[in-house]
Amino acid sequence: LEELATAFGQPIDAVIRDLRTIRQRLHATRRQRPRPGLDDKVLTAWNGLMIAAFARAARQLRTQSPQATTWLRAAERAAQFLRDTVWDANRGSLWRRWRAGEAGIDGYAEDYACLAFGVLELFEATGDASW
């Protein structure tokens, strides 16, 4: 702020006021534009990697971090979500993605490998053989 005030020969209060006005104009203009599309799908492979990361962090840092339990619960919730949404027990196969209540696209080898990695890490962290 001091640099701007010096560069423009204005008091700091005036610079702050001008920046606030500029920010309000910018946001008003931005609100008039169409919003970009939202990419909110759940990808099996990426979630498998996330499960592995949280489970391993919880296992490795169990005695050092009070957040280890939170990480482990996050991994378990994600794994349960995938079990409920992208695992098709009737077909005995995975779906690649889930979005807005709909799973689709047959799983790729990447999905199976990453999810297997995640649930193995989760098993190591919890000792729960259901994973």
The pLDDT, as a whole number, for residue 113 is: 98
Tokens standing for residue 37:
């599309």
The pLDDT, as a whole number, for residue 24 is: 97
Helix (H, G, I), strand (E, B) or coil at 5: helix
The pLDDT, as a whole number, for residue 98 is: 97
DSSP assignment letter at 110: H
pLDDT by residue (tens digit) across 84-124?
A: 999 999 999 999 999 999 999 999 999 999 999 999 999 99
pLDDT by residue (tens digit) across 49-92?
A: 999 999 999 999 988 888 999 999 999 999 999 999 999 999 99
pTM equals: 0.73
pLDDT by residue (tens digit) across 2-30?
A: 999 999 999 999 999 999 999 999 999 99
